[in-house]
């Protein structure tokens, strides 16, 4: 028997694959939803004020943000990607011989997974401060909209982002449907069709949010946005000074 060659990973294949499946939804997929919805707040039409306040809310976590990011975003994503590459390497797509819709989706799921991985690595390097040693890290949380808008200015970047966002959203929406089969949530063909309709709606909604955010960032008036952000930044500084008034505008104190 090949008992000696059966590694830890082989003995716990079921657990690992199920954790891989779960990680795609929670936390990675959940983060994707929050991320795209947050970004789409750029469409509020207030020179990025709403977007800036959402970013401020996230950054109010302060030093906790880094461990939270690693525990709930980066590490689960790397785990999902690592197992995903093993799964891709062990499969043999055959759409050429069997061009069924399900099979096309199977193949697309793998293709978009790889595109999404490459895109996310680039995206993080380009905008997140982790990318600063590599000349990236261009996102400034104090100037959220304007710094993001400038990074997305080049047409090539915008096209690559559109491809990346659509691939990621397809991978998530289709993954949502297959996850339900894997865990046994929907079992009959009719239930699978209904779940598929829900996945399609989720996918279209997220694609609209993602592409809307991209378009919103690119059509942003960077000068106005920067002014708004600077003003909001000053407000925060006033608020953070100990003993300062609750609002920058002085109001008469009722208790005398």
Partner 1 sequence: MIKAVGAMADLAASAADNGDHQAESRESESRMVRVRVLRQDIAGGESYWERFEVPYEPNMNVISVLQKIAAQARSQDGRHVAPVTWDCCCLEEVCGSCTMLINGRTRMACSALVDKLVVEDGEEIELRPMSKFPVVRDLVVDRRRVFRALEKIEAWVPVEGSYDLGPGPRISPEEQEDAYPLSTCMSCGCCLEACPQYTKIEVVRRDDESEADFDARRKAAHDSGFIGAHAISQTVLFNAHPTGRMIADERMEALTSKGGIQVCGNAQNCVAVCPKHIPLTRSIARAGRAATVWAIKKLFDR
Sole window of 143-151, 188-196, 199-207, 212-220 interacting with partner 1 (rule: CB under 8 A): 188-196
Task: Please tell me whether residue 212 binds partner 1 under the rule CB under 8 A.
Answer: no
Phi and psi angles of residue 83, each rounded to the nearest 5 degrees, phi first: -65, -40
Task: Please tell me whether residue 224 binds partner 1 under the rule CB under 8 A.
Answer: no
Three-class secondary structure of residue 250 per DSSP? coil
Please, what's the b/e burial string for 24-59 (b: 16 or more CB within 10 A of its CB; e: otherwise)?
A: bbebbbeebbebbebbbbbbeebbbbbbbebbbeee
Long-range contacts of 117-122 (CB under 8 A, 24+ apart): 117/81, 117/84, 118/164, 119/160, 119/161, 119/163, 119/164, 119/165, 119/167, 119/168, 120/77, 120/164, 120/168, 122/160, 122/164
Least separation in angstroms between CB 180 and partner 1: 8
From the list 31, 44, 103, 162, which residue makes contact with partner 1 (rule: CB under 8 A)?
103
The two counts, helices (H) then strands (E), for the chain are 11, 0
Task: Please tell me whether residue 184 binds partner 1 under the rule CB under 8 A.
Answer: yes
From the list 74, 129, 186, 212, which residue makes contact with partner 1 (rule: CB under 8 A)?
186
Task: Please tell me whether residue 92 binds partner 1 under the rule CB under 8 A.
Answer: yes
Sole window of 27-35, 164-172, 185-193, 237-245 interacting with partner 1 (rule: CB under 8 A): 185-193
DSSP state of 248: S
Which of positions 5-24 make contact with partner 1 (CB under 8 A)?
Answer: 6, 10-11, 13-15, 17-18
From the list 37, 93, 211, 221, which residue makes contact with partner 1 (rule: CB under 8 A)?
93
Task: Please tell me whether residue 227 binds partner 1 under the rule CB under 8 A.
Answer: no
Judged by the rule CB under 8 A, the positions of this chain that interact with partner 1 are 1-2, 6, 10-11, 13-15, 17-18, 87, 90-94, 97-98, 100, 102-103, 105-107, 109, 178, 181-189, 192
């Amino acid at each position: 028997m090949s008992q000696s060659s059966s590694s830890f990973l082989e003995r716990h294949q079921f657990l690992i694959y199920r954790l891989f499946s779960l990680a795609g939804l929670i936390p990675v997929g959940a983060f994707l939803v929050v991320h795209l919805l947050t970004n789409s707040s750029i469409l509020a039409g207030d020179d990025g004020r709403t977007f800036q306040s959402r970013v401020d809310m996230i950054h109010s976590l302060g030093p906790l943000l880094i461990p939270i990011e690693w525990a709930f975003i980066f590490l689960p994503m790397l785990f999902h990607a690592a197992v995903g590459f093993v799964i891709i390497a062990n499969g043999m797509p055959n759409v050429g011989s069997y061009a069924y819709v399900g099979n096309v989706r199977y193949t697309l799921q793998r293709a978009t997974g790889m595109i999404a991985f490459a895109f996310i690595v680039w995206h993080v390097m380009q905008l997140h401060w982790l990318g600063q040693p590599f000349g990236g890290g261009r996102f400034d949380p104090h100037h959220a909209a304007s710094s993001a808008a400038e990074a997305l200015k080049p047409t090539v970047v915008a096209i690559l982002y559109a491809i990346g966002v659509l691939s990621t959203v397809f991978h998530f929406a289709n993954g949502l449907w297959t996850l339900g089969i894997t865990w046994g949530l929907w079992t009959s063909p009719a239930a699978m069709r209904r779940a598929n309709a829900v996945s399609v709606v989720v996918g279209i909604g997220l694609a609209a949010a993602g592409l809307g955010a991209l378009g919103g960032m690119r059509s942003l008036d960077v000068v106005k946005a920067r002014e708004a952000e600077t003003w909001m930044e000053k407000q925060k500084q006033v608020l953070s000074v100990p003993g300062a008034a609750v609002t920058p505008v002085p109001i008469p104190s009722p208790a005398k």
